[in-house]
């Protein structure tokens, strides 16, 4: 039997494709352009907990979690317009009130005015991510509070110590005739001077620890970019983002690897996350030298910021400036913390709906 005969035989064979709907653990459905379900797999119905009449007789939007209705409606318009959807995540509300996260892959069939879709329940992963972010916030806040308390206590103790030293300078201990009193005052003065020296040394050590405990090495910006983008490859592809790296002028930099990877990761993902609707993200990353300082800029064409409103809190902890269900208010805080931990500086240029440019100035750590 030839290849053409085999293909013809296969094409003429009747398969029961309903078995995919009946037994797949994935969630299958067919939706009409009118916004109603036309066919639902048993696994999908079991997850949501509604009856067939409820699922088929109620608009799909009615089952969505409130905050996701608008974004899902926008995505649905794109699908109807001919866009194939991959890995879109939204939340549904089950009949018993539970909220579940679903990750969708969908494609339209215009001649039938139908959308064929497959979803997976990713609620456990989302719960783990949520708990992880909660712990990051808690540990970061605790660490910052302890660090601030240490600095504040050490710094504030210097004031009364300096006051005591000033008092001793006003006293002419040579005029103290009583030997025992003279020795006691002299001892107090020496102890106070010793305490001041200890506080000064302690503060100096605290300031140095942040940079001394971090491993600094020569890093290839191209390698850091490659390692970062590999971990978010699907996000880049699904968003249609175009990334334009250029590290020709400064190919290598002295910095901490973990911090630099985190900086790249957060700035790239933020540019994708806060892109303008129906506009593919364009992200330019460039290294250069200006006034003897090595700099790396990240420029995008996204939503941007009103700098007059956000400049004082842009890098604050748990600050959010755009409505997005994935926003945790941590990314820019971490970027700023990583840059400044080793003596660097970060500047921002942005206008609403005109994109953003982050310019990182790296310290000379040779």
Could you tell me the CATH number of the domain that includes residue 94? 3.30.450.20
The residue among 5 and 282 whose pLDDT is bigger is 282
Same domain, 348 and 227: yes
pLDDT in tens, 86-104: 888 899 999 999 999 999 9
- The residue from 60, 92, 121 where one domain ends is 121
Q: Is the per-residue pLDDT at 1 higher than 50? A: no
pLDDT band at 287 (very low <50, low <70, confident <90, very high): very high
Mean pLDDT of the chain: 81
Residue numbers of the domain that contains 254: 217-362
> Which residue among 121, 146, 164 closes a domain?
121
Is residue 256 packed enough to be buried (19+ CB in 10 Å), middle (13-18) or exposed (0-12)?
buried
- For residue 213, what pLDDT is reported? 62
> Are 229 and 315 in a shared domain?
yes
Decide which of 103, 121, 139 is a domain's last residue. Answer: 121
> Is the pTM of the predicted complex or chain greater than 0.75?
no
Q: Is the domain of 54 the same as that of 157?
A: no
Residue 317: per-residue pLDDT: 52
What is the percentage of the chain residues whose pLDDT exceeds 90? 30
pLDDT of residue 221: 97
Q: Is the pLDDT of residue 53 over 70?
A: yes
Instruction: For residues 45 and 107, state if they share a domain.
Output: yes
What CATH number is associated with residue 274? Answer: 3.30.565.10
Q: In total, how many domains does the chain have? A: 3
Both 222 and 352 in one domain: the answer is yes
Q: Are residues 47 and 177 in the same domain?
A: no
For residues 243 and 152, membership in a common domain is answered with: no
Sign of the dihedral through C-alpha 98, 31, 121, 84: negative
């Amino acid at each position: 039997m030839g290849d053409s005969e085999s293909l013809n035989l296969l094409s003429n064979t009747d398969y029961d494709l309903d078995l995919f709907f009946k037994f797949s653990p994935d969630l299958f459905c067919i939706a009409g352009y009118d916004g109603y379900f036309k066919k639902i797999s048993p696994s999908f119905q079991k997850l949501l907990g509604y009856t067939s009449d409820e699922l088929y007789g109620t608009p799909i939007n009615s089952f969505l979690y409130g905050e996701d209705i608008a974004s899902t409606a926008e995505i649905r318009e794109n699908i109807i317009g001919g866009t194939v959807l991959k890995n879109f995540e939204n939340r549904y509300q089950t009949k018993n009130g539970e909220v579940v996260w679903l990750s969708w892959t969908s494609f339209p069939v215009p001649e039938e005015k139908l959308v064929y879709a497959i979803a997976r329940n990713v609620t456990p992963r989302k719960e783990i991510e949520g708990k992880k972010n909660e712990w990051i916030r808690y540990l970061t806040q605790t660490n910052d509070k302890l660090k601030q308390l240490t600095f504040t206590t050490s710094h504030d103790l210097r004031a009364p110590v300096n006051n005591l030293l000033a008092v001793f300078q006003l006293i002419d201990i040579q005029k103290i005739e009583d030997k025992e009193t003279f020795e006691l005052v002299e001892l107090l003065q020496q102890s106070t001077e010793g305490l001041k020296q200890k506080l000064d040394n302690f503060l100096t050590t605290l300031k140095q620890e942040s940079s001394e405990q971090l491993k600094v090495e020569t890093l290839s910006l191209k390698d850091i970019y490659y390692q970062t983008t590999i971990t978010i490859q699907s996000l880049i592809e699904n968003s249609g983002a175009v990334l334009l790296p250029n590290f020709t002028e400064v190919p290598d930099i002295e910095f901490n690897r973990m911090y630099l990877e985190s900086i790249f990761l957060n700035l790239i993902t933020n540019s994708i996350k806060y892109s303008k609707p129906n506009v593919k993200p364009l992200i330019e990353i460039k290294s250069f030298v200006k006034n003897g300082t090595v700099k790396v800029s990240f420029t995008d064409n996204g939503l941007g910021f009103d700098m007059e409103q956000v400049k004082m809190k842009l890098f604050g902890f748990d600050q959010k400036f755009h409505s997005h269900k994935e926003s945790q208010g941590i990314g820019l805080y971490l970027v700023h913390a990583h840059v400044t931990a080793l003596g660097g500086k970060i500047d921002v240029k942005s206008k609403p709906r005109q994109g953003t440019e982050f310019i990182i100035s790296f310290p000379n750590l040779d």
